Structure 1
């Protein structure tokens, strides 16, 4: 099918905008180079191995976790999880106290028809190499019925697990039990509304802020024991299919990931320049407005204007060429 010249130009321009500014440092952005990772759907910065990011595919891949070096984009370890069933729709990964990794097999592509979903917990390995690791599997149910979800966070101080369901009109933050149990079901209950069609979320290293992203924007909240206070919008980069977010290990950056082959992970300074994790956060520049208007839906106004101008110019050029 012949595509309009302007649409082709827009697609090329969006691709160019998605390229990370720098891959020299893990928290400056990178591209995932592993050809096995084509549906990166979750992202978590390692605290045990600074500069390493854990990710996984969405579905149909198997019980695998990948450790990606943020300086090179190369996979340095693949973990094979045992002690669990066959994953259905893995959507999120988060790291809790004691360097414990939590994996959320919480998606429901059937629109919220599965009566339960799963969370897997495993220790983060001290040595990064391909290995088989035994995980604990938890059965999760919701107090108000089955639902689709793609966001899971673990509080870095208490270890309590939270899930945000995915609804176009906005969902809720669901709180799990104080401790998950491997026997029986773990019931998660809604504790606060979330005003976004959420595809992932992350808690700051000090546990005081929650970042929630969607496909085209994001919101950051102040966190107080699961109670949320909206603080503003996040400057989310324009990505092909924005699926993941994590704070960098020092809390100074928010790292945004996308699905696709060689998908980019892009960095933005945290709003207000303080992610509650490190010295860099206190002096970060740009913050909420680093990619444009922080009060927009995530893509900066300046960026959108630039896209519109270039596409319009290219479209005009195409029309002139057709007249010749």
Structure 2
């Protein structure tokens, strides 16, 4: 009996060790550090993160299309705050909202959260929308939005856009002062265009204001600005860009440094104070960090 038990134990240990050994090694770039793995909820397909301005150690996240209209309060180690009313269902459901293709989340100067339903892979959507909502308590099970703002790109005249201008997807949203900014994700080139929204009147479709174009060398998939508006971080699929914001009309005019990183599908980035950023991979649910001091000055390799 003891021999059978011992043999069985060896078999279980063998398969367990091989299971963990089968996990691919985590390959990190210089300056990139692993924080942890996201908990149930944002681990599904995270595509946005922003630091709370009302609560310590709270970052708000959401998933891409396929999830309910739900945001998740996450600690900086990736663990998720449980819902007080619905302990078996993490996150805060936003009543009345629809998650068609949520791609980023931001926070405004007055503390309102901005959830961006702007994903537009087909470049054919006519229902691009921003939800503005009061930040809920981290353990709240339900809330609703304060405003629902429809937007459109003034340059887009056909739906879908023509192949040579397939550039009306947006996965990067940030705020400066009282305004909301959008960065387009291009499929016709490797640049991005910066748009601004400064009118929050409901009941109409807002035409976005085009400000500038910047060559990223990749697709813009996430962005965040410091609360004081002095710095902006933008992510592509392999690089974090840091900008010194000197003019709100041209926020990408002064790139100062970059950090190449390694990941499968990073689509979420946020400042964690002025000297550090967090970024998350939707394919692996891994959460990373990097210090601004480790970014390479722009123009150097």
Query: Aligned equivalents of 2:220 and 2:129: distance in 1?
Result: 19
8 A contact 2:267–2:281 mirrored in 1: yes
Q: Which residue of 2 aligns with 1:182?
A: 202
Q: Which residue of 1 aligns with 2:71?
A: 65
In the TM superposition, what whole-angstrom CA distance separates every residue of 1:51-88 from its partner, at most 9, and x where no partner exists? 1111111111111000111145233441111233x321
Q: Which residue of 1 aligns with 2:107?
A: 95
After superposition, the Cα gap between the structure-2 partners of 1:88 and 1:66, relative to the gap in structure 1 and judged at 3 Å, is: same
Root-mean-square deviation (Å): 2.4
Unpaired runs of 5+ residues, structure 2, are 1-20, 84-90, 162-167
1:220 equivalenced with 2:251 (yes/no): no
8 A contact 1:217–1:233 mirrored in 2: no
TM-score with structure 1 setting the length: 0.72
Q: Which residue of 2 aligns with 1:107?
A: 119
Q: Which residue of 2 aligns with 1:124?
A: 135
TM-score with structure 2 setting the length: 0.77
Query: Aligned equivalents of 1:258 and 1:294: distance in 2?
Result: 27
Q: Which residue of 1 aligns with 2:174?
A: 153
Residue 36 of structure 1: how far off its partner (Å): 5.9
After superposition, the Cα gap between the structure-2 partners of 1:247 and 1:72, relative to the gap in structure 1 and judged at 3 Å, is: closer
8 A contact 2:106–2:115 mirrored in 1: yes
Q: How does 1:1-324 map to 2 (within 5 A)?
A: 12-13=24-25, 15-17=26-28, 21=33, 29-34=35-40, 37-71=43-77, 73-77=79-83, 78-84=91-97, 86-110=98-122, 112-125=123-136, 127-135=137-145, 136-145=147-156, 147-155=168-176, 158-167=177-186, 168-176=189-197, 178-196=198-216, 197-223=219-245, 224-227=247-250, 228-248=252-272, 250-261=273-284, 263-270=285-292, 286-289=293-296, 295-296=300-301
Query: Aligned equivalents of 1:220 and 1:21: distance in 2?
Result: 18
After superposition, the Cα gap between the structure-2 partners of 1:44 and 1:119, relative to the gap in structure 1 and judged at 3 Å, is: same
Residue 116 of structure 1: how far off its partner (Å): 3.5
Residue 164 of structure 1: how far off its partner (Å): 0.5
8 A contact 2:69–2:99 mirrored in 1: yes
What is the number of residues matched between the two proteins?
254
Query: Aligned equivalents of 2:132 and 2:109: distance in 1?
Result: 12
Unpaired runs of 5+ residues, structure 1, are 1-8, 23-28, 271-285, 297-324
- Which is richer in helix? 1
8 A contact 1:170–1:194 mirrored in 2: yes
Residue 188 of structure 1: how far off its partner (Å): 0.7
Query: Aligned equivalents of 2:44 and 2:260: distance in 1?
Result: 21
Q: Point out the more displaced range, 71-80 or 138-147.
A: 71-80
8 A contact 1:141–1:188 mirrored in 2: yes
